[in-house]
A = this chain, B = another copy of it.
């Protein structure tokens, strides 16, 4: 028998020690978690999150969930970051219009491009959904997936939110970043399930939320496979809508892209209702949370808190509020539950 070499001996010893230490660490109370959710005030919302994680990760608890089944889903606009006064993606599309018209001058005098080019904010705010779709298709399709990524990334690096004069990617809610991290620390996979464009969100989700592209589910247009003149294959973004990831489209999109019912769902508007209901229809402990925008000073107040005039975003209706109360969903009050809203606060 050959003597075991030094490297081999060190390795064996290290493996035994690692196993032993891992067990010791697991057996101790998770002290590192004391600092979790530090931007949350003590209250029913914070307690609901802690209690959900405690009961679903404790093997002796009847609500224990196997690590492979730990799926959580998050709406984005109004749930993970600011959605007022306009969805960030809509701002992007409007900002792209001049560049698109420069390439296709025939659009210059055609609506809705004419209105956007004129820059009349009041008229732009009144554009219909059909008009916005035309702008979306003109600015987000027809190019390769890589070209789109480059354009969107470039825009995100320079564009600023009018109120805070900061990048849109800075306007993410610090308490929600802590929830994402806390769930991941407890072996939950964290998915974004957004009504916004899947590929737009994928451009920044990893950097901003720690969520990789494959864990972003959103409204999705198709792509078309083809070859360039050198025979190199590439994908072109296509206007064909594959998934409208709003309302009933959210649970349908979850089934398509994840294939499992989530144990936790976070939303803030009627577009998230079906996702929250679907999450709650499973057995065992299910966490369903709704962000209520009730802080006009630090962010915005809308929905049941105060209806903003002419708002097209975040329709948190009284009926949704009633359903939440009746069915035991937890409402997160920005005003009362969040110590701070942004990392820069």
B24 touches A233 (CB 8 A): no
Within 8 A of B (CB), among A220-265: 220, 222-225, 232-235, 242-243, 248, 251-252, 255-260
For this complex, 5 residue pairs linking A to B, each with C-beta atoms less than 8 Å apart, are: A15-B25, A198-B256, A213-B259, A223-B255, A233-B278
Cβ of A17 within 8 Å of any chain B Cβ, yes or no, is yes
Most B CB within 10 A of own CB, among A22, A216, A232, A259:
A259
A259 touches B18 (CB 8 A): no
**Among B214, B224, B258, contact of A258 (Cβ-Cβ < 8 Å):** B214
Known A145-B255, A198-B256; 9 more pairs at CB < 8 Å:
A11-B31, A14-B24, A18-B21, A198-B259, A213-B258, A220-B256, A222-B256, A233-B274, A233-B278
A164-188 interface code vs B (CB 8 A; 1 in, 0 out):
0000000000000000000000000
Cβ of A212 within 8 Å of any chain B Cβ, yes or no, is yes
Give the chain B neighbours of A222 by CB distance below 8 A. Answer: 252, 256
Asked, given contacts A222-B252, A274-B233, whether A202 binds B259 with beta carbons under 8 Å apart, the answer is: yes
A74-110 interface code vs B (CB 8 A; 1 in, 0 out):
0000000000000000000000000000000000000
Complex Cα distance, B298 from A109, in Å, reads: 69
Most B CB within 10 A of own CB, among A24, A223, A255:
A255
Give the chain B neighbours of A10 by CB distance below 8 A. Answer: 24, 28
Most B CB within 10 A of own CB, among A198, A212, A234, A260:
A212
Give the chain B neighbours of A242 by CB distance below 8 A. Answer: 242-243, 256
Complex Cα distance, B287 from A78, in Å, reads: 41
Instruction: For A22, give the chain B residue with the smallest CB separation.
Output: B18
Give the chain B neighbours of A213 by CB distance below 8 A. Answer: 258-260
Asked, given contacts A213-B258, A259-B213, whether A17 binds B21 with beta carbons under 8 Å apart, the answer is: yes
Instruction: For A201, give the chain B residue with the smallest CB separation.
Output: B259
A275-296 interface code vs B (CB 8 A; 1 in, 0 out):
0011001000000000000000
Cβ of A272 within 8 Å of any chain B Cβ, yes or no, is no
Cβ of A163 within 8 Å of any chain B Cβ, yes or no, is no
Cβ of A68 within 8 Å of any chain B Cβ, yes or no, is yes
Complex Cα distance, B18 from A17, in Å, reads: 8
Instruction: For A206, give the chain B residue with the smallest CB separation.
Output: B68
B232 touches A281 (CB 8 A): yes
Asked, given contacts A18-B22, A21-B14, A256-B242, whether A281 binds B233 with beta carbons under 8 Å apart, the answer is: yes
Complex Cα distance, B214 from A212, in Å, reads: 13
Complex Cα distance, B222 from A213, in Å, reads: 22
A252 touches B224 (CB 8 A): yes
Cβ of A199 within 8 Å of any chain B Cβ, yes or no, is yes
Cβ of A8 within 8 Å of any chain B Cβ, yes or no, is yes
